[in-house]
Amino acid sequence: MNRRTLTELDYFRIRDEIAGNCVSEEGKSLLEKYEPLTDVKRIDEAKALGKEWLSFLLSSKNSALTSWPPIHQILPVLKTEGSTLLQEQIFALLLFINAKENAEFAIENAKEDLKLEKLYELAQTLPDFTEAKNEISRILDDSGQLKDLPQLREIRGKIAACKREITVLMKKYTADSSLADALESNVPAFRADRQVLAVKSSRRAAVKGIIHEMSASGQTVYIEPEDVVRKNNELIQEEFHLQQEIRMIFHELTAKLRPMQWLFAKALPVMIKLDTTCAGAKWGKQNRCNYVFNCKIIEETLQEEPLLLLQARHPLLGEKAVPVDIRFMPGKRILIITGPNTGGKTVTLKTIALFAMLNQTGFPVPAAEGSRLPVFSNVFADIGDSQSLDQSLSTFSGHMKNIASAVNGADKNSLVLLDELGSGTDPLEGGAIAMAVLDTLIERKAFVLCTTHHGILKNYGYTHESCINASVEFDNTTLSPTYHLSMGIPGESRALDIARRSGLSGKICNAAKGYIANEQADVSSLIKGLSAKHAELSRIQKEMALREKELADLRRKTDLHELKLRQKEMDLQKAGHRDSQKFLLESRKMLENLVRELKEGEVTREKTLKVKAFIKEIQDSVEQAGQKVEQDEENLVKDMAVKEALIKQIEESKKQKKTAKKRLKNSEALALAQSLASSEETASKPVQKLEFKSGAQVLVGSSKRQGTLIRLEKKGMWSVQIGSIKMNVNQKNMILIAQDENSKLSQPEITLDLADSQKINVDDSKFPGSRPMFELRLLGMRVDEALKMLERQLDLCTLHNFPKFSIIHGKGTGVLQQAVQDYLSHYPGIANFSFAPPEDGGTGKTYVELAV
């Protein structure tokens, strides 16, 4: 990458700011050498780690990385045979081990909750330092101080004894009254780490010993008494012995750590990678960033936007940055940005290029989720004034030199930035050169971002299929730029308005306005009209996006409601089973007592009344239970009606997204066809004899929910299938209706015509209803049976334009899970499928989205 270009984009400034988030000096030093990569695999690897770090930082987990001193210079010393590490060097290795263990512990604890797969995989490569830590901890404590080892304890005891004896001897001199007039001070002084007495120069003979020093005035001499000299010599010998013993301890410890040097050499790059990727995520958290998706450089046939930045904010502008949306349509390679001066054209150009470079370094960018960027092999830029007196370059010459370099070096993987293209010379010739330059860059298939004030380039952007216009908006009320970017339309330069705001007199501005040709006014009117239409389109798009969000929320509520209905049904079944067991147990006890009384004596009227009362009590209990079941069933049917209303509302909202004209025509044609078909069908259909039997259609309860009779459970009580729910209903609470041939529950098969004229026969005997389910349950099924159910569900989804559903297949041995995943991966109508989040079933449940 061109370093001059990266400097103009403020890339190094942002990179160094990110490096400041490293916890280690080694990580910071390495990150400060980073430059954009071109290897997509390495970029994706860095971003994958960064994404997981960002997820970790946004959680409530404790910090995973702690700082450690630099150890890269210690490792060569440790490797050298016969070397001895210093105490602070050994302590640095201990701190590194502690940092490694903290990172391992934090990542492993958060692996399941936050899905830290890449971080965990990287942390698993860290070696075990248990033996090294034990050896170091035997010598040093947690603060890095030398422990009280047995081999040192005796020497330290001798040193302490020597110091006490010296103190006693010195006190003998300071307390001697005969020396009171000879001593300058009663407090001993230190010279060369030895205790001495400050004696008056005139009385130096009063104290026998060695003179260490004389004061500058010559009035005081510092004498070490003879008996103290001997003790000080003993102290020095013991202290030397102590240091010698400490050096021996560190030498032996170094020898024990030497075979483990390769462990530190292996762990250090891993820890640095953890540190640098975490630093990028920390910066991303501070600046509300996201990791964008890498897309391949656009091809002519590509049907997705090659560059899409949502709510992009230049990081150096901070809170003053105005978020902008920048999107390239498929097949577009040239973005021409126009608009007023100081409107943000150059900032927008720099923002796109800077984001591309940050992305290629593995860093997040201040943009919303869903953004994506190509990976460029090189970046060329002509930004600012390239005038140079040393090289005899004018402004225009400097521009041409940069542009020539870009044109000569650009290819299909290059990004070219051209600020104020065609400026600095005659407008006519400058515009012609600009168009010729763009023609050449289009031939080379380079990715080009340029800003300009030339009206002819605005027209060029409209007439060339590889170009797209964009403009920075201008507020006509305040006569100032808004810094918002409008894609698809050019902008006016508004030079007169900017000049007036900058202090140029109104008289001069009015005179300048008079020089503008009339045709220019026509162009301005056209641009204003386009701007108004673009604003209206943006408003509609925002409304549609809001509506889609509401639909998604509504669908989630519907799915939740369905789950609650299923749970309620299960609770009712469990409660009914418990009540039945309790009723059976109590009735059995009462019956046994009555039988025993009857056997014990003759049958009397009193005993007969007891039997009748028992039978009546059973009948009353059964009736009460039946009434309770009927009430619960009626409530359940009401809840199902609410669900159907929500589904109906979703379907109606989806239809509203079509244009009014097309909707009107389609709905009228469909209504007419249905009306005719219904009339013919009614006229030709024979009168059915309605009776309660298996397969008959009924309306259940007060809500008139349609269902199908399955079988007669007992007199007056039928098992009924209502949608995906099966329940027992009293016959008096149901109304028979005419049989609907198109919605029979037991129809043997459904045949679908596909685009390739093939036929698919689907067994429908195990699939309730003729509509797809929000949640397909395959638990307990064999693979072949489950795949038939899945095939039936997908066919119904296609028929009913049903976009999403979920599959509960469980985890188990993984056979059914794998079979479902394989089937979905080869089914042509699947847009996307993925496992559910942990809170909704995880790998035991799959979300499916169809391309409807």
Q: What is the pLDDT of residues 5-21, one digit of tens each?
A: 899 899 999 999 999 99
pLDDT at 175 over 70: yes
- The whole-number average pLDDT for the span 321-342 is 83
Edge-to-edge strands, sheet with 775-777: 775-777, 804-808, 845-850, 830-835
From CA 461, how far away is CA 421, in angstroms rounded?
13
pTM above 0.85, yes or no: no
487: which residues sit within 8 A by CB, 6+ positions away?
325, 326, 327, 468, 469, 470
Most confident of the ranges 411-425, 593-607, 665-679, 753-767:
411-425
From CA 760, how far away is CA 105, in angstroms rounded?
54
From CA 663, how far away is CA 713, in angstroms rounded?
47
DSSP 745-783: TT--EEEEE-TTS-EEEEE-TTS-SSS--SEEE-TT--H
Residues 444-499: tens digit of each pLDDT? 889 999 988 887 888 888 788 888 888 887 666 665 667 777 777 776 666 677 67
Both tokens assigned to 38: 């071109």
From CA 739, how far away is CA 385, in angstroms rounded?
83
pLDDT given at position 509: 72
pLDDT given at position 759: 33
Q: Taking each helix axis as running N to C, give the angle between helix 815-826 and helix 783-799, from 0 to 180 degrees, rounded to the nearest 10.
A: 40
Task: Identify the CA nearest to 199 among candidates 190, 191, 186, 177.
Answer: 186
pLDDT at 56 over 60: yes
Q: To the nearest whole percent, how much of the chain has pLDDT over 70?
A: 76
Q: Which of 478-487, 523-532, 699-708, 725-734 comes out lowest in average pLDDT?
A: 523-532
pLDDT given at position 77: 93
Residue in the structure block whose two tokens are 């698919």: 760
SS3 per residue for 141-205: CCCCCECCCHHHHHHHHHHHHHHHHHHHHHHHHHCCHHHCCCECCCCCEEECCEEEEEEEHHHHH
Cβ-contact 449, 353 below 8 angstroms:
yes
Please report which residue ranges of 656-749 form alpha helices under DSSP H.
660-684
pLDDT given at position 742: 41
196: which residues sit within 8 A by CB, 6+ positions away?
188, 189, 190, 212, 213, 222, 223, 224
**pLDDT band at residue 545, thresholds of 50, 70 and 90?**
confident
Q: Taking each helix axis as running N to C, give the angle between helix 261-286 and helix 87-114, from 0 to 180 degrees, rounded to the nearest 10.
A: 50
Which letter does DSSP use for residue 140 in this model? B
DSSP 79-113: HSTT----HHHHHHHHHHHHHHHHHHHHHHHHHHH
Question: How many C-beta neighbours within 10 Å does residue 612 have?
Answer: 10
Residue 549: Cβ-neighbour burial (10 angstroms; 0-12, 13-18, 19+): exposed
Which letter does DSSP use for residue 44 in this model? H
Cβ-contact 103, 27 below 8 angstroms:
no
Task: Identify the CA nearest to 79 among candidates 264, 261, 254.
Answer: 261
Looking at per-residue pLDDT, the higher value among 32 and 626 belongs to 32
pLDDT given at position 277: 95
**pLDDT band at residue 247, thresholds of 50, 70 and 90?**
very high
Q: Which residues pair with 734 in a beta bridge?
A: 700
pLDDT given at position 93: 95
> Would you call 572 helix, strand, or coil by DSSP?
helix
Q: Which of 66-80, 114-128, 186-200 comes out lowest in average pLDDT?
A: 186-200
Phi then psi for residue 21, to 5 deg, are -90, -5
pLDDT at 94 over 70: yes
pLDDT at 356 over 90: yes
Cβ-contact 223, 213 below 8 angstroms:
no
Query: Considering the chain, what is the average pLDDT of its residues?
Result: 79
pLDDT given at position 803: 84
Looking at per-residue pLDDT, the higher value among 124 and 685 belongs to 124
The H or E element that residue 455 is part of is: helix 455-463
- Residue 537 is which amino acid? L
From CA 493, how far away is CA 339, in angstroms rounded?
5
Cβ-contact 220, 162 below 8 angstroms:
no
**pLDDT band at residue 518, thresholds of 50, 70 and 90?**
very low
Most confident of the ranges 283-297, 377-391, 553-567, 602-616:
283-297
pLDDT given at position 690: 79
pLDDT given at position 679: 34
Number of H helices, E strands in the chain: 22, 25
pLDDT at 664 over 50: no
pLDDT at 670 over 50: no
pLDDT at 694 over 50: yes
pLDDT given at position 647: 61
Q: Which of 25-39, 256-270, 400-414 comes out lowest in average pLDDT?
A: 400-414
Which letter does DSSP use for residue 365 in this model? B
pLDDT given at position 84: 92
**pLDDT band at residue 661, thresholds of 50, 70 and 90?**
very low
Task: Identify the CA nearest to 99 among candidates 62, 131, 125, 65.
Answer: 65
From CA 230, how far away is CA 151, in angstroms rounded?
25
Buried b vs exposed e over 524-534: b needs ≥16 C-beta within 10 Å? Answer: eeebeebbeeb
Most confident of the ranges 285-294, 594-603, 674-683, 754-763:
285-294
**pLDDT band at residue 300, thresholds of 50, 70 and 90?**
very low
- Please provide the distance, in angstroms rounded to a whole number, between the alpha carbons at the two ends of the chain: 44
pLDDT given at position 763: 41
Q: To the nearest whole percent, how much of the chain has pLDDT over 90?
A: 24
From CA 842, how far away is CA 839, in angstroms rounded?
7
Residues 773-794: tens digit of each pLDDT? 888 888 878 888 888 888 888 8
> Would you call 126 helix, strand, or coil by DSSP?
coil
pLDDT at 420 over 90: no
Question: How many C-beta neighbours within 10 Å does residue 225 have?
Answer: 22
Supply the Cα-derived Rg of the chain in whole angstroms. Answer: 44
From CA 97, how far away is CA 75, in angstroms rounded?
14
CA atoms within 13 A on the CB side of 268: 19
From CA 610, how far away is CA 613, in angstroms rounded?
5
pLDDT at 720 over 90: no
- The whole-number average pLDDT for the span 313-339 is 85
- The whole-number average pLDDT for the span 114-140 is 93
Residues 213-245: tens digit of each pLDDT? 888 888 888 888 888 888 888 888 888 999 999
Question: How many C-beta neighbours within 10 Å does residue 728 have?
Answer: 16
SS3 per residue for 213-265: EECCCCCEEEEEEHHHHHHHHHHHHHHHHHHHHHHHHHHHHHHHHHHHHHHHH
Residues 812-835: tens digit of each pLDDT? 788 888 888 888 888 877 888 888
From CA 794, how far away is CA 751, in angstroms rounded?
13
Looking at per-residue pLDDT, the higher value among 74 and 178 belongs to 74
Residue 729: Cβ-neighbour burial (10 angstroms; 0-12, 13-18, 19+): buried
Residue 6, Ramachandran bin (φ over 0: left; ψ between -120 and 50: alpha; else beta): alpha
Residues 594-629: tens digit of each pLDDT? 666 666 666 566 666 766 676 667 666 666 766 666
From CA 108, how far away is CA 95, in angstroms rounded?
20
pLDDT at 744 over 50: no
From CA 296, how far away is CA 227, in angstroms rounded?
88
Cβ-contact 290, 369 below 8 angstroms:
yes
> Would you call 639 helix, strand, or coil by DSSP?
helix
Residue in the structure block whose two tokens are 């989720």: 369
pLDDT given at position 490: 77
Q: Which of 274-283, 374-383, 449-458 comes out lowest in average pLDDT?
A: 449-458
pLDDT at 736 over 70: yes
Q: Which of 18-27, 290-299, 370-379 comes out lowest in average pLDDT?
A: 290-299
pLDDT at 38 over 70: yes
- The whole-number average pLDDT for the span 102-122 is 92
pLDDT given at position 597: 67
